[in-house]
C-alpha cells in the first residue's frame, strides 16, 4: 500500500506551532519547561486527543500519545522527537518529528486503517539542552544514560531547577521514566547540514549518530587595572581563553572532515572595559563518529589546557555520548519505504545528536532526514520545503505500518514457540 499523508495539513500544524514563542526573524525561542513549552505541550495534547489518542506523560514530562492497535498487548511503534527549541531556533528542528507522528495518526484515521501494534507519538523533554544541560536529557534518563536525580537537579542560568520548572508547568507525571515501554522508535528530522541539498536528494536514511563530549571550563586569572598593569606578568583569563578556542579549532581540523569542535558559550568576568579579565567560563563541544578518535581529541584538549600556565584551569567533562548504530531492521524498513515512494536518497550518519541516539540504546531505532536550506539550523532562518517534509513523513508512515505488522507477527510466532505451562 502506497499510502500518503496530507502535506498541507502537516505544514499547517507546523506553522501553528511556530507561533508559540515566535521570534522577529521568523524562528522560535521556546526553551524547555518555559511557559511557551507548556503552551506547545497543551496544544499538542489537544490535537492528539482530537485524533483519538490517549495522552500520558512520565516523571520527566516525556509525552506519549497512543493510538491503539488490534493487539493492545503489543509494544507500540513510536514516532517522535521534541518541541523545545534553541533560544534563536527555527520552526522545524524537533517539531517536525513530533508533528509528523501526529500527521501519520491523522492519515490512518482518514482512511480507517487499523495497525497490528499500537502507534505512539512521543515528545521528549529538553532535547536541546539550551536551558538545562546536557542535551537529550529526558530521553537519556529513559535509556539509562542519566539517573533521575541528575536530571531533576539540573539548573538553568538563573538557578532554577529542572524538577521545579517541570512541576510549575504541570507536566511532572507519576510514571517512572523508562517504565513506558516501546517496541520500535522512529524519528524524522531536518538534516541540519548541507549534504542532502548539495546532492539534490530528498531522504537521508540515518544509520547512526556520532559521539559527543561536552565540557565546562573555568579559567581563573587575576583582575587588574588595564592601564597600569604591564603586559608582562598579567594573568589575563580572556587571553588564555582565546588560545584555548583556537586550540579547539586546531585539534578538530587535525582529525579529518568528520571531526568538529566548537566553543559556543563564553562568559567574561568582570566584563569591564578597563579591567583585565580575571575569570572566563566557557563550554566546549567535541564530536566524531569514531569513539577512539574522540578520545584522542579529549587527550589533546587536556594537553592544550596544561599550556595555559598564567591561569588556573578547571576542565569538567559534563557529558560523554558515545557513537551509536541504529537497528538494521528499522533501517531496512526505511530503505524499503524510500524505494516504494521513489525518492532520491542516501544512507548517512547524523552529525547532530538526537533523542533517537539515546533511545537506540534500549529500543530498536532509526531516523529519516530531509533537506534544510543551506544546511542551516539552530538559527531563525532555518527553512525546509513543504514537499520534502511531506516526503519524509510518507517514508515514516510506510515504515511504521510495516514495522507494526512485523512486530506483531514476530510476537505471535514467539508465543507459538513458548511451551505451555
pLDDT tens digits for range 216-272:
999 999 999 999 999 999 999 999 999 999 999 999 999 998 999 999 999 999 999
So what's the pLDDT on residue 413?
56
Query: With contact defined as beta carbons under 8 Å apart, do 397 and 208 qualify?
Result: no
d(CA 328, CA 184): 12
d(CA 52, CA 41): 17
| pLDDT (average), residues 339-355 | 95
Pairing of strands 211-220, 312-321: antiparallel
d(CA 302, CA 269): 23
In the chain, % of residues over pLDDT 90: 93
Decide if pLDDT at 417 tops 70: no
| pLDDT (average), residues 319-335 | 94
Grouping H, G, I as helix, E, B as strand and the rest as coil, residue 338 is helix
d(CA 227, CA 242): 21
**Could you give the domains of the chain?**
7-210+323-417 (3.40.630.10), 211-321 (3.30.70.360)
Average pLDDT, the chain: 95
d(CA 221, CA 218): 10
So what's the pLDDT on residue 411?
58
d(CA 312, CA 217): 10
Q: Which residues fall within 8 angstroms of residue 144, CB to CB, at 6 or more apart? A: 178, 361, 362
d(CA 48, CA 42): 10
- The size of the chain, in residues, is 421
So what's the pLDDT on residue 421?
43
Query: With contact defined as beta carbons under 8 Å apart, do 268 and 277 qualify?
Result: yes
Report the range out of 134-138, 168-172, 414-418 with the highest average pLDDT: 168-172
| pLDDT (average), residues 155-176 | 98
Question: For residue 349, what are the β-bridge partners?
Answer: 208
In the chain, % of residues over pLDDT 70: 96
d(CA 52, CA 107): 12
Return phi, psi of residue 95, to 5°. Answer: -60, -40
| pLDDT (average), residues 321-343 | 96
d(CA 85, CA 131): 10
So what's the pLDDT on residue 22?
98
Q: Which residues fall within 8 angstroms of residue 191, CB to CB, at 6 or more apart? A: 197, 204, 369, 370, 371, 372, 375
Grid cell for residue 322: 558515545
So what's the pLDDT on residue 420?
44
| pLDDT (average), residues 25-40 | 98
Closest by Cα among 277, 274, 278 to 227: 274
So what's the pLDDT on residue 407?
67
| Composition of the chain by helix, strand, coil, percent to 5 | 35, 25, 40
What b-and-e string marks burial along 246-276, b requiring 16 or more CB atoms within 10 Å of the CB? ebbeebbeebeeebbbebeeeebbeeeeeeb
- Predicted confidence (pLDDT) per residue in 271-297, tens digit: 999 999 999 999 999 999 999 999 999
- Predicted confidence (pLDDT) per residue in 153-165, tens digit: 999 999 999 999 9
Query: With contact defined as beta carbons under 8 Å apart, do 263 and 284 qualify?
Result: yes
Decide if pLDDT at 415 tops 80: no
Query: With contact defined as beta carbons under 8 Å apart, do 193 and 346 qualify?
Result: no
| pLDDT (average), residues 81-102 | 98
| pLDDT (average), residues 70-76 | 93
d(CA 187, CA 189): 7
Q: Which residues fall within 8 angstroms of residue 208, CB to CB, at 6 or more apart? A: 289, 323, 324, 325, 326, 349, 350, 357, 360
- Predicted confidence (pLDDT) per residue in 373-411, tens digit: 999 999 999 999 999 999 999 999 999 999 999 765 665
Closest by Cα among 368, 364, 354 to 140: 354
d(CA 245, CA 62): 36
Query: With contact defined as beta carbons under 8 Å apart, do 173 and 56 qualify?
Result: yes
Decide if pLDDT at 321 tops 90: no
| pLDDT (average), residues 337-352 | 96
Decide if pLDDT at 418 tops 70: no
Return phi, psi of residue 47, to 5°. Answer: -65, -40
Amino acid at each position: 500500500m502506497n499510502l500518503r499523508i496530507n502535506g498541507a495539513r502537516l505544514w499547517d500544524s507546523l506553522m501553528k506551532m511556530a507561533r508559540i514563542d515566535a521570534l522577529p526573524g521568523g524562528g522560535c525561542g521556546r526553551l524547555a519547561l518555559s511557559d511557551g513549552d507548556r503552551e506547545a505541550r497543551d496544544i499538542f495534547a489537544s490535537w492528539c486527543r482530537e485524533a483519538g489518542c490517549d495522552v500520558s506523560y512520565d516523571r520527566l514530562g516525556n509525552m506519549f500519545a497512543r493510538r491503539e492497535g488490534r493487539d493492545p498487548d503489543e509494544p507500540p511503534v513510536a514516532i517522535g522527537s521534541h518541541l523545545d527549541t534553541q533560544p534563536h531556533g527555527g520552526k522545524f528542528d524537533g517539531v517536525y518529528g513530533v508533528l509528523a507522528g501526529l500527521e501519520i495518526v491523522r492519515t490512518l484515521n482518514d482512511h480507517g486503517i487499523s495497525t497490528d501494534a499500537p502507534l505512539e507519538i512521543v515528545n521528549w523533554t529538553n532535547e536541546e539542552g539550551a536551558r538545562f544541560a546536557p542535551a537529550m536529557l529526558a530521553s537519556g534518563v529513559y535509556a539509562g544514560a542519566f539517573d533521575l536525580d541528575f536530571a531533576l537537579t539540573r539548573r538553568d542560568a538563573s538557578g532554577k531547577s529542572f524538577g521545579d520548572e517541570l512541576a510549575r508547568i504541570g507536566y511532572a507525571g507519576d510514571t517512572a521514566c523508562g517504565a513506558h515501554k516501546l517496541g520500535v522508535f522512529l524519528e524524522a528530522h531536518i538534516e541540519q547540514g548541507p549534504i542532502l541539498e548539495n546532492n539534490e536528494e530528498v531522504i537521508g536514511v540515518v544509520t547512526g549518530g556520532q559521539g559527543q563530549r561536552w565540557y565546562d571550563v573555568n579559567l581563573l586569572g587575576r583582575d587588574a587595572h588595564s592601564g597600569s598593569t604591564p603586559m608582562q606578568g598579567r594573568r589575563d583569563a580572556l587571553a588564555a581563553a582565546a588560545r584555548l578556542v583556537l586550540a579547539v579549532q586546531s585539534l578538530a581540523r587535525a582529525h579529518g572532515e568528520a571531526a568538529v569542535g566548537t566553543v559556543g558559550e563564553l562568559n567574561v568576568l568582570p566584563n569591564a572595559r578597563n579591567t583585565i579579565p580575571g575569570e572566563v567560563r566557557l563550554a566546549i563541544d567535541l564530536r566524531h563518529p569514531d569513539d577512539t578518535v574522540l578520545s584522542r581529541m579529549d587527550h589533546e584538549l587536556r594537553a592544550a589546557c596544561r599550556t595555559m600556565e598564567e591561569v588556573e584551569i578547571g576542565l569538567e567533562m559534563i557529558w560523554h555520548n558515545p557513537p551509536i548504530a541504529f537497528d538494521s531492521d528499522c533501517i531496512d524498513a526505511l530503505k524499503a519505504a524510500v524505494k516504494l515512494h521513489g525518492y532520491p536518497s542516501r544512507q548517512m550518519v547524523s552529525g547532530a545528536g538526537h533523542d533517537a541516539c539515546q533511545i537506540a540504546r534500549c529500543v530498536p531505532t532509526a531516523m529519516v532526514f530531509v533537506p534544510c536550506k543551506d544546511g542551516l539550523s539552530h538559527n531563525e532562518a532555518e527553512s525546509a520545503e513543504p514537499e520534502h517534509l511531506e516526503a519524509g513523513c510518507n517514508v515514516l508512515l510506510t515504515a511504521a505500518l510495516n514495522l507494526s505488522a512485523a512486530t506483531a507477527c514476530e510476537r505471535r510466532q514467539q508465543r507459538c514457540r513458548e511451551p505451555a505451562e
